[in-house]
């Protein structure tokens, strides 16, 4: 074995899952890319479902402790500036994923987007079960910036924000191609995030919506 078979499978799987989606990626494609035997996935991971979770876990275990730490350093401020500060604090932890793996940041967010759309709630439970405390810390930090916004509306806005994030990454390949063709702009993941953070911060911090 050149390198650990388990790691070779994880590396091949995460790339393919991010590019094509979970259901569209077969074990045959994964094992061919990883240059390992077809049966080894089931030997090492038990099933395709477990492999998907193992791929995600590798990233979350790296990211979430950094997020916890980063949230502690944020200077509390009210309003859109405060929200933007919280979101900006998430960027460096996200970026470290590309040190762990080439294009790691992009791959991770694409996996997130795929997971939300394909796995019918499994991903959500996986996150809340394993990393619910970190998620809670993040939500609390944002809520603290917006004492005048009702919890319900913060709830909605956070999900809209996740949508912006996840969608733009899931279709980042197409977006990059369009940006290159129409604006002759070489797009990096950092550019996307730099545009995304203020967009989302503005949306989250907007005036409360009148109740129905």
Interface contacts to DNA, rule CB under 7 A: 1, 5, 25-29, 36-44, 46-49
What is the four-CA torsion angle of 125, 17, 118, 158, rounded to 10 degrees?
A: 60
Residue 110: closest CA among 192, 177, 65, 165: 165
Q: Which is nearer to DNA, 28 or 150 (CB)?
A: 28
Q: How far apart are the first and last CA of the chain?
A: 62
C-alpha dihedral sign at 110, 15, 129, 189: negative
For the window 158-177, what string marks contact with a copy of itself as x by the rule CB under 8 A? -xxxxxxxxxx-xx--xx--
According to DSSP H, which parts of 73-103 are helical?
Answer: 79-100
CB under 5 to 8 A by kind: which of DNA, a copy of itself, none does 141 bind? none
Residue 36, binding choice from DNA, a copy of itself, none, Cβ under 5 to 8 Å by partner class: DNA
Helix (H) or strand (E) holding 34: helix 27-34
Residues near a copy of itself (CB under 8 A) are 20-21, 23-24, 113-114, 116-118, 120-121, 124, 151-153, 155-157, 159-168, 170-171, 174-175, 178-179, 182-183, 185, 191-192, 194-196, 198-200, 202-207, 209, 212
């Amino acid at each position: 074995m050149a390198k650990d078979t388990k790691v070779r499978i994880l590396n091949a799987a995460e790339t393919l899952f991010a590019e094509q989606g979970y259901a569209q990626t077969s074990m045959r494609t994964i094992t061919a890319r990883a240059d390992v035997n077809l049966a080894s996935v089931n030997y090492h991971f038990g099933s395709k479902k477990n492999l998907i979770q193992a791929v995600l876990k590798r990233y979350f275990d790296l990211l979430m402790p950094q997020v916890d730490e980063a949230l502690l350093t944020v200077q509390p401020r009210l309003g859109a500036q405060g929200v933007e500060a919280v979101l900006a604090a998430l960027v460096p932890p996200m970026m470290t994923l590309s040190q762990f793996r080439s294009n790691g940041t992009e791959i991770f967010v694409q996996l997130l987007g795929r997971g939300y759309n394909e796995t019918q709630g499994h991903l959500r439970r996986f996150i809340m079960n394993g990393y619910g405390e970190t998620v809670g810390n993040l939500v609390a930090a944002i809520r603290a910036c917006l004492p005048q916004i009702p919890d319900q509306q913060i709830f909605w806005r956070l999900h809209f924000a996740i949508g912006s994030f996840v969608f733009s990454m899931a279709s980042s390949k197409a977006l990059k191609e369009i940006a290159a063709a129409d604006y002759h702009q070489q797009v990096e993941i950092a550019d996307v995030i730099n545009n995304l953070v203020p967009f989302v911060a503005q949306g989250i911090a907007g005036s409360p919506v009148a109740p129905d």
